[in-house]
Structure 1
Amino acid sequence: MAKNYYEDLGVSRTATPDEIKKAYRKLARKYHPDVSKEADAEAKMQTINVAYDTLSNEEKKKQYDFELDNPYANAGGFGGQAGGHGADGSQFYRQSTGADGQNYSGFEDLFGRFGGGFGGGHQQDFGQRGSRQQRSYKGEDQHASIEVPIEVAYEGSTQSITLQIPTYNAYGEPEVQRKTLQVKIPKGMKEGQQIRLSKQGQAGINGGENGDLYLEIQYQDTQRIRVEGADVFYTVDVTPWEAALGQNIEIDTPAGKVKVTVPKNAKNNQQLRLKDKGIPNKTPGHLYLVINIVYPKAETEKQQKAYQTFADEFSDFNPRS
């Protein structure tokens, strides 16, 4: 077996679609030629793009899994089986002999033979002896994922992005096409929503129109921010006395400056929900402020005494009891 796409992405056969996506995103950050310092970054990026294109598509993955389990399933000499997918997921076409004794081989003959449909289709492909009428086929739709800052969700943006799109050449061999596009991202896009770019997918066959390209929007996770659908989770640092006394604070959030009251005796990781302050989608998400209590260092004698006083006042408190 020439390739194993699961090994290329570092996932198991039982990996979920989410696990496959996370593995791809991790590798893409490491090997993208625009940011990577690895010597073989471009080749690595091509490999993981082709692997992800197969494993992220339910039908392609099902076919690929079948061929992993049955590596010789397509090796039989049936005249009607002029093409298929190799065990490594790549398309291939092999020469075969039809009932009329003629050889059909290669990409052009595969579609020329079956283009007119079954039941007399071969005769429909030839208007006169030696003159073939080739049919056109639309290229496949393709899918890619891009990461953008959370600010784009609230403001929208037009960004220049470079993508490496897995595709197949005329010989059925997988290759990667690199393209740079100007993409307008409207505000209010939920994580996981897609933008359709007309005719930016795989090239058509025999003059057929190109497929479409679908870009899935992902928001960059940071130490403070994570996104789930239209909901935004934002970590807020507070002092022990703000958490204990329930004080008012003003903070900068992805939705802008807001004033909130910290609940009295707030706990670490406690969440405050700001309704409709998440991604401004048609159905707005919520903004969740996640409390993170930060304790100051006792660096001076006076500060150490303050902590000692605090300890004396709460001498009956034992967090380990």
Structure 2
Amino acid sequence: MGKRNYYDVLGVNRNATDDEINRAFRQLAKKYHPDVSKEKDAEAKFKEVNEAYEVLSDPNKRRNYDQFGHAGNDPNSFSGFSGFSGFSGFSKGFSSGGDFEDIFSGGFGDIFENFFGGGAKKRRGFSNQPIKGKNVAARVTVTLKEQMFGKTVKLDLNVDKTCEACDGTGAKDPKKDIHTCTTCDGYGYVNIEQRSLFGVIQSQQPCPDCKGCGKVVTSKCPKCKGQCHYRGKEVVEIELPKSIYENQQLRIREKGNYGLNSGPRGDLYLEISVKPNKYFKRVNDNLHLDLPVSYLDALLGAKIKVPTFDGYVHLKLPANTKINSVFSIPNHGFLKVQHLADVVI
């Protein structure tokens, strides 16, 4: 079965803004995260959502996807020619690891040099560029008081960590077990010749033996089994801002999965939920309390004690106070903060 349309995966239309794509990703990541979801295929759906988000959140990848579909970001894809109508599509594999802009930046002369066996420039390491780690999602629950004053929380996360045993190389002994690929001579790609109506066409594709890295591992690391990373626990300490809204998302930079080839870590998306309080509730930036008073105090007036999260304060109740009257006590509610879709820490 082929891949689903990335827009359908996230449940957005093709004209969706970056904010709409981010919101859709957060909702689905929270729904299908393997650590919280009880659905049988949660892990597969989570990976599908993450893959769609990685493409649609990147302007270049999204542009390639809109023009060429899944093949637009697949270095192994090659569409070739379609009859006499000219080119039917290009893949990244035709250039030395660049994108579509790289192919066209040199003009049509460079294009035909690449296709018809011209002297293409070789660059070692087709895909050993630093790769950012994938994002992770989590949820934290706080009390209403903690929501008001902020709180330092500690989260136990399951993340892909760089293997310390092999320093992320995947080799048992990085000095002895990593060798230059003999298939591509360390360049990371190979030239492929295909016959067409226009003659023999030569294109470049990632090396099938080294997967474009230019290096091969002869003896894999026993800890990570050659994967360069492993799944492990990590404790992350986060300072929650004061007066943050419920269901507001925090994006904590570089607290997600570790990257490959010394790439940066992904981000942590944290969603806030608040426990209901028996007496208080938040309305916008105000703290509401229903306080019962006696009939005589309401009729004659009185000085009453009002509990707040800062302690008790005194309120002068005027005579002939009516039922459901509302009184305001300044400086005992929430800070006035802007309700943003994302708060970046």
Q: TM-score normalised to the size of structure 2? A: 0.46
Q: TM-score normalised to the size of structure 1? A: 0.48
Higher RCO (C-alpha under 8 Å, 6+ residues apart): 2
